Structures are given as C-alpha cells and as structure tokens.
Amino acid sequence: MFYSKIKAVGAYVPEYTVTNDDLSKIVDTNDEWISSRSGIRRRHFSKGENTSDLAAKAAEVILKKAGVKAEDVELIVVASVSPDYATPSVSCLVQSKIGAVNAVAFDIGAACSGFVFGLSTADKFIKSGVYKNALVIGSEVLSKYLDFEDRGTCVLFGDGAGGAFLERSEEGGILSEDMGSDGARGLSLTSGFRNVVNPYCEGERFIHSYIEMDGREIFDFATRTVPKSVEALIEKAGISVEDIDIVVPHQANARIVQIVARKLKIPMEKFYLNMEEYGNTSSASIPIALNEMDNKGLIKKGDTVLITGFGAGLTWGSMLIKF
Ligand code: ACO
C-alpha cells in the first residue's frame, strides 16, 4: 500500500494590492463594512497575468522548494474556476510553461473546494501505484469575473495561486478525507454562463460571466456543512479534535470561520487566517495559506493539519494531512 506525502508547498500572488479604501473609490462601499462583515482588508489583483501564468509561477516555487526537476513531474492537476481558456486546460498550459514534458495534465472544477478535491484525486493515482508524484495547484484570476458595479461580490474576491508537490511514501501524508456536493443549491453561486445559440437554435446570445452570489445562502451553507464535514472526517480518521494541531480553512470569510470553530469546539488560535491580505482566492486560498505558514515556520514536521474547503457547486471537502 502506498501513501502520498506533501514534500513542498508554494504560492505566487500578483504584486498589485487593492485596499478596501481603493475599492470605495469605484463602488459604494467602505472599509468598515467590508472588514467587519468578511475580515478582508486587501486583495491582490492581476495586472495582466492570467490564471496559467500565476499557476506556472507557483509551480516553479513548489518544485524549487521540493528540489524536483520539472521533467520528473508525473501528474499535474490544476483546480480553477477562472481558466485562461475553456480549452486548453490550465494544467496543460502550466505543463508547457514549466517544461514538465513527461507529465499527464488535467483540470478539475470544484470552486473553493478545488484544492482539496485536487489533492484527493492525485492521492488516488499515487496510492494505486499509477504515478509516483503529482503537482496539485489551485489558481484563480477572479478579478476578470467580478462585476465592479456589484458591491455585494466585488469586494470579496482576489487573485492568486498556490499548490503542493505530493510524493509516494511509506506513511501518510494524506490521512483521511470527507468530500461532498449539493448540486440542488448550485445556482446560489454562479459565473461564466453561456446559453445555446447556433444555426439550429436561434435566439438572443446571453453571456453571463460575472460571479453572482446569494451571500446569505452561502453563509448558511458553509456554517452548517463545514462542521459536519469535519466531524465526519475526524470519525473516519479515528482521532479527536484535540489531535489536530492546525486548521487551514478556505479563506472566504472570518465570521464563517468563527462560527465553525465554535461549533467544533476548536480554539480560534488553531485556525490560520489570511483573508485580510488576499480576500477569497477560491481554489488557491488554502495552498496560499499553507505556503505562508510554511515560510513563517508555523508548520512543523509531524503536525496534523486539517484543511477544509467549501464553495460553489455547492461543494465541500475536508482533509487531514500529516506534515
Ligand atoms: N459595502 C457596503 N454595503 C454593502 C456591501 C458593501 N460591499 N455589500 C452589501 N451591502 C449592503 C447590502 O446592500 C445591504 O443593504 P440593505 O440592508 O440596505 O439592503 C446590507 O449591506 C446587508 O447586505 P447582506 O448581503 O444582507 O449582508 P450580509 O451581512 O449577509 O453580508 C456577505 C454579506 C459578507 C456576502 C455575507 O453574506 C457572506 O459572507 N456570505 C458568504 C459569502 C462567501 O463566503 N462566499 C464565498 C464562498 S464560496 C466561494 O468561495 C466561491
């Protein structure tokens, strides 16, 4: 039996920062509303780099930290809801940009749960012996999908990429997971819609690319579902909450995290939050946070880390990882 272990984490975030005050100059909002409702004070926006550019730069950081050559990567999985193109995939563009000529590359779409779903997918390939290693990346340029006239959404999101290099190991690594989907509630968070118009189905072309969200519905979903998912995960793993050293949640909203922490009876000190600096970067938020913690020396060898993502789909995914 094989296991997957995280050998390195890394991230790349565009340099350009937009504060809440900056946004208040273009939309009817203010720093007090945004920070008290979400915990967000700044976000990084791309000034032209697309999703595969961010992902490739994150990949280079990860491989450097792992001490692995691009040509030795066997699998690339990119999670994104903001790809450069519908096709080719972000992962194929990354493969070409970093020179991972021997890798198999494909994308998955699970929104803010995408990094957890990506790790889970790569883990299965490694566990089954098909591949010895995998690069898993979450990358988003959400700014291109934001309606800067909709104050309810444009203040919440940011751009960035992060990921991890997984390697076959004698011991896990990835210890346990719990994932789920509720498509019936999917239309409460949408982007990138095109209706069908062709020579045999005429009508008005309707392209709805902006992110649209029922914030209350998502808030309710996240605060109900994440605690249940974590409880299910802990039970499957046969551990107790006290055995968890660090929790890295999807960085959507500090209030959601506070409610989740209270329900799970896990002290807030165990949660790592950085939405203040990056906003919600969807699939990239968990690996950006892991990379930041790693760079600050906050994750020690042997730590049991819980990551938990939730978002559009609706989807959710929690995973226990031994570093
Ligand atoms: N600035 C100032 N006022 C605003 C803003 C803004 N940016 N946005 C909305 N308002 C106003 C509204 O117009 C409304 O005014 P009204 O009462 O006069 O109509 C008032 O503030 C309250 O609006 P609500 O939407 O009810 O505010 P709420 O307290 O629910 O907070 C929020 C909104 C922050 C979006 C919250 O619902 C939330 O965090 N939801 C979860 C969102 C989330 O986490 N999404 C991402 C997860 S999925 C993924 O990551 C892809």
* Closest of 259, 323, 288 to residue 55, by C-alpha: 288
Spell out the residues 6+ positions from residue 307 whose beta carbon is closer than 8 angstroms to its own. Answer: 115, 116, 247, 248, 249, 286, 290, 318, 319, 321
Name the residue with the closest Cα to ligand 1, atom 9: 152
Query: Which one-letter amino acid corresponds to residue 245?
Result: D
Task: Choose one of 31, 80, 146, 216 to mutate for the ligand 1 pocket test, by most ligand atoms within 8 angstroms of C-beta.
Answer: 216
Q: Is the CB of 189 under 6 A from ligand 1?
A: yes
Q: Determine the distance separating the centroid of ligand 1 and the alpha carbon of 40, expressed in angstroms.
A: 12
Which CATH number, 1.20.1560.10, 3.40.50.1860, 3.20.20.70, 3.40.47.10, labels domain 175-322?
3.40.47.10
Q: Is 112 among the residues known to form the active site?
A: yes
Distance (Å, whole) CA 166 – CA 127:
11
Per-residue pLDDT reduced to its tens digit, 48-66: 999 999 999 999 999 999 9
Tell me the domain boundaries of the chain.
Answer: 3-170, 175-322
Q: Is 92 among the residues known to form the active site?
A: no
Distance (Å, whole) CA 194 – CA 258:
37
Per-residue pLDDT reduced to its tens digit, 238-259: 999 999 999 999 999 999 999 9
The architecture that CATH gives domain 3-170 is 3-Layer(aba) Sandwich (3.40)
Per-residue pLDDT reduced to its tens digit, 254-299: 999 999 999 999 999 999 999 999 999 999 999 999 999 999 999 9
Q: Is the CB of 306 under 6 A from ligand 1?
A: no
Q: What angle do CA 280, 276, 188 make, to 5 degrees?
A: 30
Q: Give the pairing type, strands 246-249 and 304-311.
A: parallel
3-170 and 175-322 have identical folds: yes
Task: Choose one of 18, 36, 37, 255 to mutate for the ligand 1 pocket test, by most ligand atoms within 8 angstroms of C-beta.
Answer: 37
pLDDT at 1: 78
Q: Is the CB of 311 under 6 A from ligand 1?
A: yes
- Please, what's the largest Cα pairwise distance for the chain? 61
